[in-house]
């Protein structure tokens, strides 16, 4: 042995070949008296590199004498230290690590290379220099909850993800193709809580992790909101007749997809009469309110040929495990309640022509018109109101062919002996071979005001009036004028 210092190496093979990286090295130093300790000229540093880059760990020193430099690593996450080099000899089998003099080079760094690197002389006391290596890498993210969730309408949905990376990534949520239900574009945090969800909350949610290293990472989660059936009849009343073909349609939505059955006057109908198609409303009539479409199905019931026994109430019943809903469709031969089409502004002082149209598979055979003055009549100078009178009723049987386009019928009737400048209220009913329709909506109209012609601009003169009687002329003095009601109050003069 060297009288000053000598390293003695012993290899403990432990039953493995000498070339195996599992060799353990025991090193011993024997130090003689009056030996001066080495001094590190490098300073402690923290190295930050991105994964895949190279880094040099400096252990520069002076006055080492016969002492051998030892470089060790202490893992960042704890664990036992690992011997890398002794002197100029590399001990680790990692091919990415090389030693050149007092400097250690690590190429193609990996996240596990992070930790403390110790430049060490095994003396009493030890001489050491510590360096820190931080290897940064792009984030990774994963879903903590199932990637696809089904929740009931009105309940709370929780979406959660977890991001990893160095440095620790920030997490934010967005929604594919739409804003968040709150109206925000993004929400920060690893957990997203949606309370009292409805169908507008459905869609694909994106959890994104970003730490500024490489590209952000994202994970997607799909939220599906389950709800009871919703049923909308395409037409609540279907008017048809014997020998015709009738098609009853209801639009059904629900999740899970509902089962649909039809009944007629309470009796179930066979499946062979039914048909189901995916309902695709025209975008211009039903613009999407959010990115995730709600599937709807058009369920139809065909009746051909129609007989009188097919008239009645048909019920479209939709049911899933969350509930049941139905819609009633009436199949009838009765006419549609008339729709008045004439203008409310009458063109004559004592007459008014009422026009209307209706839908009926069969010819219209009769109609009834009821009319009366409205609840307030002409306002009199003494401020008294002419109250509404009782209903007047006109009934007519149809003779000859009405104007008809398809199932639409067009009719008219002139009401005579009406008061001048008076508001009226009218309703109409029509009849075919199966009976009377319901009444039309109440229709307001008014007769034309009487014309007044002034022949003087001095505040007095001659007024000529005409309201169905013989014209006459009087001298008068104007007291007041109400243009809105078409009324002139005068005082006769001799």
pLDDT band, residue 381 (cuts 50/70/90): very low
Lowest mean pLDDT: which of 3-12, 298-307, 325-334, 421-430? 3-12
User: How many residues appear in the chain?
Assistant: 494
**Residue 266: is it exposed, middle or buried by C-beta count within 10 angstroms (0-12/13-18/19+)?**
exposed
Q: Among candidates 146, 78, 82, 154, which has minimal Cα distance to 118?
A: 82
**With pLDDT > 70 as the criterion, what percentage of the chain qualifies?**
76
Place of tokens 């199905």: 297
Straight-line distance from the first to the last Cα atom of the chain, in angstroms, rounded to the nearest whole number: 158
**More confident call, 447 vs 466:** 447
Cα 184 versus chain centre, distance: 13
What digits encode the pLDDT tens for the residues 311-364? 999 999 999 999 999 999 999 999 999 999 999 998 898 999 999 999 998 899
What is the C-alpha separation between 88 and 487, in angstroms, rounded?
A: 121
Alpha-carbon distances of 163 from 144, 187, 429, rounded to whole Å: 10, 15, 72
Q: Which two tokens stand for residue 49?
A: 């590199």
What digits encode the pLDDT tens for the residues 202-217? 999 999 999 999 999 9
Alpha-carbon distances of 230 from 151, 153, 287, 300, rounded to whole Å: 17, 13, 19, 15
In the predicted model, what is the mean pLDDT of the chain? 81
Place of tokens 């009821």: 370
What digits encode the pLDDT tens for the residues 11-51? 333 333 333 344 444 444 444 444 678 999 999 999 999 99
**DSSP line for 403-461:** EEETTEEEEEEEE-SPPTT-EEEEEEEEEETTEEPPPPPPEEEEPPPPP-EE--SSSEE
Q: Among candidates 235, 232, 244, 408, which has minimal Cα distance to 310?
A: 244
pLDDT tops 90 at residue 474? no
pLDDT tops 60 at residue 376? no
**DSSP line for 41-107:** -S---EEEEETT--EEEE--EE--TTPPPEEEEEETT----EEEEETTEE-S--TTEEEETTEEEE-
- Which backbone phi and psi does 169 adopt, to 5 degrees? -75, 155
What pLDDT is recorded for position 29? 44
pLDDT band, residue 309 (cuts 50/70/90): very high
Half-sphere exposure of 390 (CA within 13 A, CB side): 1
What digits encode the pLDDT tens for the residues 208-267? 999 999 999 999 999 999 999 999 999 999 998 888 899 999 999 999 999 999 999 889
Q: Among candidates 361, 368, 350, which has minimal Cα distance to 450?
A: 350
Task: Give Dmax (Cα) for the chain.
Answer: 158
């Amino acid at each position: 042995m060297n009288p000053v210092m000598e390293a003695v190496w012993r290899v403990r093979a432990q039953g493995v070949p000498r070339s195996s990286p599992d060799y353990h090295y025991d090193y011993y130093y024997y130090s003689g008296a009056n030996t001066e300790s080495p001094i590190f000229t490098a300073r402690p540093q923290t190295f930050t590199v991105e994964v895949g880059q190279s880094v040099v760990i400096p252990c520069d020193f002076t006055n080492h004498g016969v002492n051998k430099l030892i470089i060790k690593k202490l893992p960042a996450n704890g664990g036992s230290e690992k011997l890398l080099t002794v002197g100029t000899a590399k001990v680790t089998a990692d091919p990415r690590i090389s030693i050149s003099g007092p400097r250690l080079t690590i190429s193609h760094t990996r996240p596990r290379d992070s930790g403390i690197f110790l430049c060490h002389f095994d003396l009493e006391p030890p001489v050491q220099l510590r360096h820190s290596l931080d290897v940064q890498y792009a984030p990774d993210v994963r879903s903590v909850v199932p990637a696809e969730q089904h929740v009931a309408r009105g309940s709370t949905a929780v979406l959660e993800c977890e991001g990893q990376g160095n440095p620790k990534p920030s997490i934010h949520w967005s929604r594919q193709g739409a804003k968040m239900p709150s109206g925000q574009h993004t929400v920060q945090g690893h957990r997203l809580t949606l309370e009292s969800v409805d169908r507008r909350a459905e869609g694909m949610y994106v959890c994104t992790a970003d730490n500024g290293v490489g590209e952000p990472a994202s994970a997607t989660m799909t939220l599906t909101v389950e709800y009871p059936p919703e049923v909308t009849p395409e037409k609540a009343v279907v008017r048809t007749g014997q020998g015709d073909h009738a098609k009853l349609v209801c639009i059904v939505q629900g999740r899970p997809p509902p089962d649909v059955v039809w009944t007629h006057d309470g009796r179930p109908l066979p499946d062979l009469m039914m048909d189901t198609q995916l309902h695709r409303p025209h975008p211009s009539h039903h613009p999407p309110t959010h990115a995730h479409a709600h599937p709807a199905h058009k369920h139809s019931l065909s009746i051909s040929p129609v007989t009188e026994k097919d008239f009645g109430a048909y019920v479209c019943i939709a049911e899933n495990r969350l509930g049941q809903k139905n819609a009633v469709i009436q199949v009838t031969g009765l006419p549609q309640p008339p729709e008045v089409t004439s203008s409310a502004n009458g063109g004559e002082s004592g007459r008014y022509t009422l026009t209307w149209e209706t839908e009926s598979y069969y010819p219209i055979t009769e109609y009834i018109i009821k009319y009366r003055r409205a609840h307030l009549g002409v306002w009199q100078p003494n401020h008294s109101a002419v109250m509404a009178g009782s209903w007047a009723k006109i009934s007519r049987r149809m003779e000859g062919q009405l104007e008809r386009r398809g199932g639409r019928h067009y009719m008219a009737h002139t009401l005579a002996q009406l008061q001048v400048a008076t508001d009226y209220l009218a309703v109409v009913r029509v009849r075919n071979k199966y009976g009377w329709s319901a009444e039309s909506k109440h229709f307001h109209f008014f007769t034309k005001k009487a014309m007044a012609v002034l022949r003087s601009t001095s505040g007095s003169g001659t007024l000529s009036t005409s309201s169905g009687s013989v014209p006459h002329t009087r001298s008068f003095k104007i007291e007041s004028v109400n243009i809105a009601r078409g009324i002139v109050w005068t005082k006769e003069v001799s």
